[in-house]
Amino acid sequence: MAFFLSKEYDTVICGAGPAGLMAACTLGRLTGGARRILLLDKKDPWKEPIFCAEAVSTDRLNALWPVDPAFVRGTLSGIYFTSPKRYRAEFYSKDCGLILDRARFHRSIADGCAAAGVECRYDALIKKLERVGDSWQLTVAVGGESCSISAKTVVDATGPGCRLTRGLDCLEGIESGDVDLEPGIFAVAEGIEHSREHIELFFGSEFKSGYGWIFPRDGVEVNIGFVLGKDATHEGSLRQKLLDFIARDYPQAKVKAVYGGTIACTGPESKPLAKCGLFKAGDAASCVNPISRSGIVESLLCGKIVAECVKDWLDAGTQADRERAESQALVRWMEALGKSHRQLARAKGAFNSISDRQFDRAAKRLSAMPREKQTLFRIFFNVLWACPSLIWKMRSFLH
């Protein structure tokens, strides 16, 4: 039985999240149907649940994928910064962001992939990947039966953990076991009073080396959850910790579902994103903001960069040209976002060292100001004012 249109492809993209979808669509458009491109995932990319809070910058998203009202749940006009004693400071900026309907957003890019001539299969489980000669061999299961296909290049966009490529000797130098996989958990809940146009972020020792959040969804439901640092210790399960947080602060809430996962927060920095024709993109490449842990736009951008480098690899006439295309993936990512992420990662420890008392002091001072004066600069200044030693710590990280 033939599961695919071919047994040999120029590129197989593994994973149909934002990075994989963007890589497939970009590569399809760049090659104009002249290359055999296959996008694989074990489920439809528009099927819920999707483990994300769904907030993005309007301008940054629109620069990568045109915003369509069909996949927008709502617009954001600010962020509440809430301290352990629940003092609240507000950063207000009208129409600063969007809350996406991730299912519809993914469907939009998946439609773009099909229109660009990409062969898409969303019922295929990749069971094995191995290097055979000068190509990649993939064992893929569809409907309980397995088959083999080969590819000149592979894009690993399978998310955090890198299970697909783990243990492959030919990828020495690209693989690493020191990725910070941080635990995150959230619930979809009703009955929580909130502003439909604001994100609320919670800081303090309750969310050790991380933060809590409330993201609006449709005016009724919210996404409420938290992320912790990889070394944060806690009693009991993360699920119970989340339920206790909701019950204490929002006793009228009705929890509809709870989801959990991990976030890869160590950027590639000095590790290559590609080798031997295999390229990593998105969470598989740890291209996540180390402090905010945002990853949607980051994954789209990484997927676009990787696709452009894959095209250069396929068009290359020599091995040296192919290796140059591989090295450019990291170079271009670092120029686009990697350097700023590296600075944030270095400042992360200093930010995490702020005490509950210092957060409360800063938020209380800010909450007394008129909203128009609660700019990001004043929020940052007041956090530093509440914790003077942070200035020196951050200077040592950023220089």
Please report where in the chains the tokens 């299961």 appear, as a residue: 141
CA distance 210 to 71: 29
Q: What's the pLDDT score for residue 250?
A: 97
Separation in Å, CA 296 to CA 23, 54, 79, 283, 339:
13, 8, 18, 9, 18
| Res 395: pLDDT | 43
Rounded Cα distance, 175 and 172, in Å: 6
Q: Which long-range contacts (CB under 8 A, 24 or more apart) does 160-165 make?
A: 160/261, 160/262, 160/263, 160/264, 160/283, 160/284, 160/286, 161/262, 161/264, 162/280, 162/284, 164/14, 164/126, 164/129, 164/284, 165/129, 165/278, 165/280
Q: Rounded to two decimals, what is the model's pTM?
A: 0.90
Q: Tell me which H or E stretch contains 225.
A: strand 222-227
For the chain, 399 residues long, give each residue's pLDDT as a single digit of tens. 478 999 999 999 999 999 999 999 999 999 998 999 999 999 999 886 566 778 999 999 999 999 999 999 999 998 888 999 999 888 888 878 999 999 999 999 999 999 999 999 999 999 999 999 999 999 999 988 999 999 999 999 998 866 788 777 777 767 554 567 888 999 999 999 999 999 999 999 999 999 999 999 988 999 999 999 887 766 678 999 999 999 999 999 999 999 988 888 765 555 788 999 999 999 888 888 888 888 899 999 999 999 999 999 999 999 999 999 999 999 999 999 988 888 888 878 878 888 899 889 888 887 777 666 555 555 555 555 555 544 444 443 333
- pLDDT the model gives residue 371: 64
Q: Residue 311: what pLDDT? A: 98
Answer whether 196's CB lies under 8 Å from 215's CB: no
Helix axes 102-115 and 18-31, enclosed angle (nearest 10) = 20
| CATH tag for 181-264 (out of 3.30.9.10, 3.30.310.10, 3.40.50.300, 3.90.1170.50) | 3.30.9.10
Phi/psi class of residue 162: alpha, beta or left (left: φ > 0; alpha: ψ in -120 to 50)? Answer: left
8-50+103-179+268-349: CATH superfamily? FAD/NAD(P)-binding domain (3.50.50.60)
| Residue 230, amino acid | K
Say what the alpha-carbon torsion angle 188, 290, 392, 369 is, to the nearest 10 degrees.
Answer: -30
DSSP letter for 277, please. T
Q: How much of the chain is helix, strand and coil, in % rounded to 5?
A: 40, 30, 35
- Chain-centroid distance of CA 232 in Å reads 21
Q: Where in the chain is the domain with CATH 3.30.9.10?
A: 181-264
Residue 303: the pLDDT is 98
From-to residues of CATH 3.50.50.60 in the chain: 8-50+103-179+268-349
- Nearest 5°: the CA angle 187, 192, 196 is 95
Alpha helices in 153-295, H assignment, sequence order: 238-249
- Residues 279 and 203: their CA atoms lie apart, in Å, by 36
Pairing of strands 181-190, 254-264: antiparallel
